[in-house]
Amino acid sequence: MDVVNTRWRFFRYASPAAFYPLAGRLVPWFAAVAAVLALAGLYLGMLRAPTDATQGDAYRIIFIHVPAAWMSMVLYVVMAFWAAIGWAFNARLASVVARAIAPTGAMFTFLALWTGALWGKPTWGTWWVWDARLTSELILLFLYGGYLALVSAIDDVRRADRAGALLAIVGSVNVPIIYFSVIWWNTLHQGASVSVAAAPKMAAIMLQSMLLMTLSFWAYAFAVVFVRARAIALERDNRSAWAAEAVGRARTRTQTQTQARTQTGAGT
Amino acid sequence: MRGTFAAVVGRDLRLAARRRIDAALPIAFFAVAISLFPLGVGPEPQMLRQIAPGVVWVAALLAAMLSVTQLYAGDLADGSLEQMLLVPGGRIAIVAAKAVSHWLLTGLPLAIAAPVFGLVFDLSPEGIRALVASLLLGTPVLSLMGGLGAALTLGLRSGAVLLILIIVPLCIPALIFGAGAVAAVDAGQSARGHYSLLGAVLIFTGVLAPVATAAALRIATE
Amino acid sequence: MNWNSASEFFAMGGYGAYVWGAYVVTAACMAIEPVTVALRHRRARRALRGERAER
C-alpha cells in the first residue's frame, strides 16, 4: 500500500504548481554540488595530474571537452524523452522541461566543439578535423538548432511542443545511424592516417577528474534547466492561480481574501 | 487504402502536368547548383572528377528539400488536405502517396538527368552508372524525409529554409552512402557495402517515415 | 602538485593559449547562461506581478 501511495505522490510534481516550489528549493543545492565537484575535479586535473608524454599539457582540455560532449549527447536524449512524455500523456510540464533542456544542451555541444578545436590545433595541427567525433558533434549541434528553430517557428504552444517532440524522437533514433555513417565515412577517407584526438593513456587521477567534472556538469545542467523550466512555466501559465500565488509569496491571507471578495464583487 | 494511394498519386501527377514549369523547377535548380561548383572551385578536371559525386548528391538533396514544401502546401491552401485526412485509415496511404509522387516528380528526374552532369564532371562510365544507381536508391529516402519535414512545418512562414535546417542533418547517412558509392566505384573499388547500407537506410526510412509523417500531419492540423 | 610555480601553471608547457582559451570560454558560458536564465525568470515574475497590480 505504501508503494502505491509513494508512486501517486510522486506524480503530484507533474503539475507545474507543485513542481515550481520544489524546483526552486533544489536549485541552490544543485548549484552548490556543481561548484564543489568542479573545484575537486579541476584540482585533480589541473594541479595534480601529471603532464602527458606525447601531448604535453595540452591534453588537460580533456577535462572539459569530454564532459561537455557527454552532456550534449545525454541532454539530447533526455530532452527527447521528456518531450515524448509530454506528447504521449499530454503532460504540459514534461514539454516545458524538454524546452528548458534544449538551450543548455546546445551550449554544451558548442563547448564540445570549441574545446575540441582548441585541443586539436596543438595536437594535430589544424583548428578543425573532420573526424568522426567532432563531425558527429557538429551534426548534433544542427539537431539542437533544428529543434529550437522548429519550436520557435510555431506560434501555437502545444503544436510546437508536439512537433518538437516528434522531431526530437526522430533525431534520437537517427543519432546512432548518423554516428555510424560518419565513422564509415571517416574510415574510408583516412588518407593521411592522422590518429586524431587519441586520448592519452589515462592515469587513474585523470579518470577521476573527468568523472568529477562530468558529475559537476550534470548538477549544473539540473540547476540551469530547473530555473529555465520555472521561467517557462510562469510564462505559459501567466493567467493561472498557482502562478500568481508563486509570484506573490509575500501576500498575507487577508490580502488574498480581500482580492477574492473584490473579484467576486466585480464579477456581479 | 490502395484506392486512396493511387488517387493521391494520380492527382498530384495530373496537377504537376498542368503546371509543367513549376514541376521542372527542381531540375533547373539542380542544374544551376551543380554548375556553381566548378565556377567556385575552378575547372581543373582531376579535382572536379573527385568532387563530382558529392556535388551532385548535395545538389540533389537541396533540390529535393526545396520542392517538398509544395507537397502539402497547395492542398493545405485550398482545403483539400483536411478532406483527405478525413478518409478513415487513409492517413498513412496519403503520406506514402505524397512521397511517391514527390519522388516521381523530383527524385526520378534527377536520377535520369544525372548522367549529363556525370559527363560534365568527366566521371567514368562506371562512375556514372553508380551515380544513377545511388540516386535511384537514395532519392526516395529524400522524398520520405522531406515529407516528414513538410508535415512538421506545415503552414509556417519560415517554410523551406526551416525544413532544410531540420531535415538535412537527418539525411546525412543517405548522402554519405550515396556519394560514397560513386566515389568508391570511381576509385576502382566495390560499392557493394555502400549500396547495402543505402538500401538499409531506404527500408528503415520507408517503414518509419510514413508513420512519423502521419503523426506530424495530425499535430499540424489538430 | 604537478607545478613548481604559478607561471609554470599558466604557461601549461607552452600550450597555455589553447588550454586557457578552452577553459575561459567554458567558464564564461557556464557563468553567462545561469545569469541569462535567472533574468528570464525574474522578467516572468515581474510580468506576473505587474499584471496583478493592475487588477
**Closest to B197 measured CA to CA, from B176, B167, B213:** B176
Confidence of residue C5 (pLDDT cuts 50, 70, 90): confident
Q: Chain B: residue nearest A188 by CA?
A: B180
Report the range of poorest mean pLDDT among A191-195, B58-62, C31-35.
Answer: A191-195
User: Radius of gyration (Cα) for chain C, nearest Å?
Assistant: 21
Contact call for C33 and A51, based on CB within 8 A = no
Confidence of residue A230 (pLDDT cuts 50, 70, 90): very high
Q: What structural domains does chain A harbor?
A: 29-190+205-237 (1.20.120)
Q: State whether residue A256 sits within 8 Å of chain C by CB.
A: no
Residue B27 has pLDDT above 50, yes or no: yes
Helix residue spans in chain A (DSSP H): 2-11, 16-42, 62-88, 92-124, 132-153, 157-188, 204-236, 241-247, 253-267
**Closest to A92 measured CA to CA, from A243, A247, A246, A220:** A243
What is the structure's pLDDT at A200?
56
Give per-residue pLDDT as tens, A66-103: 999 999 999 999 999 999 999 999 999 999 999 999 99
Mean pLDDT throughout A158-181?
95
Can you give the three-state secondary structure of B125-147, one letter per residue? HHHHHHHHHHHHHHHHHHHHHHH
Q: What residues in A contact B184, CB-CB < 8 Å?
A: 188
Specify whether the CB–CB gap between A93 and A236 falls below 8 A.
Answer: no
Strand, coil or helix: A52: strand
Q: State whether residue C33 sits within 8 Å of chain A by CB.
A: yes
What is the structure's pLDDT at A247?
79
The whole-angstrom distance between A153's CA and the closest CA on chain B is: 7
Q: State whether residue C30 sits within 8 Å of chain A by CB.
A: yes
Mean pLDDT throughout A105-115?
97
pTM here is 0.89
Give per-residue pLDDT as tens, A134-160: 999 999 999 999 999 999 999 999 999
**Closest to B127 measured CA to CA, from B47, B185, B62:** B185
E-strand stretches of B151-222: none
Q: Percent helix, strand and coil across chain C, each rounded to 5?
A: 85, 0, 15
Contact call for C48 and A231, based on CB within 8 A = no
Contact call for C12 and A47, based on CB within 8 A = no
Residue A193 has pLDDT above 60, yes or no: no
- The beta-carbon neighbor of A181 closest among B165, B173, B204 is B173
Contact call for A181 and B158, based on CB within 8 A = no
**Choosing among A159, A170, A172, A183, which should be mutated to test the B contact, i.e. which has the most B CBs within 10 A?**
A170
Torsion over CA of B26, B31, B32 and B38, rounded to 10 degrees?
A: 150
**Choosing among A59, A60, A101, A108, which should be mutated to test the C contact, i.e. which has the most C CBs within 10 A?**
A60
- The beta-carbon neighbor of B170 closest among A163, A170, A188 is A170
Q: State whether residue C28 sits within 8 Å of chain A by CB.
A: no
Q: What residues in B contact A159, CB-CB < 8 Å?
A: 219-220, 222
Q: Chain A: residue nearest C5 by CA?
A: A47
Percent of chain C topping pLDDT 90 = 53
Residue A268 has pLDDT above 60, yes or no: no
Strand, coil or helix: A56: strand
What is the structure's pLDDT at A9?
62
Query: Under 8 Å CB-to-CB from B184, ≥6 apart: which residues?
Result: A188, B130, B190, B191, B194
Q: What residues in A contact C23, CB-CB < 8 Å?
A: 61, 64
Give per-residue pLDDT as tens, B116-175: 999 999 999 999 999 999 999 999 999 999 999 999 999 898 888 999 999 999 999 999
* Cα–Cα distance for residue pair B90/B98, rounded to 1 Å: 12
Cell of A199: 586520448
Give per-residue pLDDT as tens, A30-41: 999 999 999 999
Which range of residues forms the domain containing residue B154? 2-221
What burial letters (b/e) apply to B191-220, b meaning 16+ CB within 10 Å?
A: beebbebbeebbebbeeebbebbbbbbebb
Which region holds residue A51: left if phi is over 0, alpha if psi is between -120 and 50, else beta? Answer: beta
What is the structure's pLDDT at A238?
79
Residue A206 has pLDDT above 70, yes or no: yes
Residue A267 has pLDDT above 60, yes or no: no
Total domains in chain B come to 1
Amino acid at C53: A
The maximal CA–CA distance of chain C, rounded, in angstroms, is: 66
Q: Chain B: residue nearest A162 by CA?
A: B219
Amino acid at A168: A
Main-chain phi, psi angles of A52, to 5 degrees: -80, 145
Residue A55 has pLDDT above 50, yes or no: yes
Crossing angle of helices B108-120 and B125-152, rounded to 10°: 140
Give C55 or A121, the one with higher predicted confidence.
Answer: A121
Q: What residues in B contact A84, CB-CB < 8 Å?
A: none
Q: Chain A: residue nearest C16 by CA?
A: A58
Q: What residues in A contact B156, CB-CB < 8 Å?
A: 153-154
Give B83 or A177, the one with higher predicted confidence.
Answer: A177
Distances from the Cα of A69 to the Cα of A42, A207, A222, B177, C7, angstroms: 17, 15, 16, 26, 30
Q: State whether residue A109 sits within 8 Å of chain C by CB.
A: no
Cell of A91: 503532460
What is the structure's pLDDT at B15?
87
Specify whether the CB–CB gap between B193 and A144 falls below 8 A.
Answer: no
- Mean of the per-residue pLDDT values of chain A: 86
